[in-house]
Structure 1
Amino acid sequence: MKVLALRVLALGLALAAGQALAQTSPAPLPTWDKLTPQQREALIAPVRDRWNREPEDRARMLERAQRWQAMTPEQRAQARHGMKRFEDMSPGQRREARALYGHMKTLTPEQRNALREQWKKMTPEQREAWMRDNAPPPRDRDRRPEH
């Protein structure tokens, strides 16, 4: 939930920043308390809509929001960088990343390092075979068309 909220907030802030840059003397963006009800609604509406539309994901959304709140600024920056990298991947690369991440969560740090080294040495055909053997089943959200 927070990840989506942050994306929406970033979009809203980028739009506000664009308007501020269009002015001759840019004004600093307001704090949350200074936003108008319409600005707040524009930032929150997509999260509310997803929350209502996907009740099966509510627990996961809330858990992610709580994890985000517990992160340091450096961890949040690292997470944003990872999200950006993931968003820039092709569907095939995303499938690979999900499979690797899901599998690596079950490994010890030593096993993870060994898999990373093994992965680097694999041919595309070997990686595809590994994916067939280790990929998790596709989730419903992966079958939705991208916006």
Structure 2
Amino acid sequence: MAPAFRAIVLWLALLGVLSSPMTAAGERQPSWSELTPKQREILAPLAHEWDSFSDVQKKKLLGVARQYPKLNAEQQKRLQSRLLEWSRLTPEERELARKNYQNLKQMPPEKRREVKRKWQEYSQFQAEEAKPEAATPQAPAAR
């Protein structure tokens, strides 16, 4: 799973949006073809599996799509990236993300802060490791 612990297990399972149990509750949510063009654009990384989501998951994701225009460009890009990463996870990785999210939710606030601090340190380390080395001057070509 590695790459930065798979982006802290996919932004903690998209902050719970995709960690709902697979049971339908309440009103029927739209199929992919019933979404507005804007909703489909925002949720595009999930297009191929949208219709298999529970109504609860769809409702939460529609809430994400509603909030999307209020995000700044960097936040929108991050959200799109996380949706894409989530769509690429195996069912086992998704289940691990859900469990990690639930575990984190149950931690006392001070423990969550410690986990966040360690995650930030690790992310900073990863970013520094990924920086390309300063361009080294090449010797002039022989004539």
Please classify the TM superposition score into its range, dividing by the shorter chain length.
Answer: 0.3 to 0.5
Q: Identify the structure with bigger relative contact order (alpha carbons < 8 Å, sequence gap 6+).
A: 2
Q: What TM-score comes out, normalization by structure 1 length?
A: 0.46
TM-score of the superposition, structure 2-length normalised? 0.47
Higher fraction of helix = 1
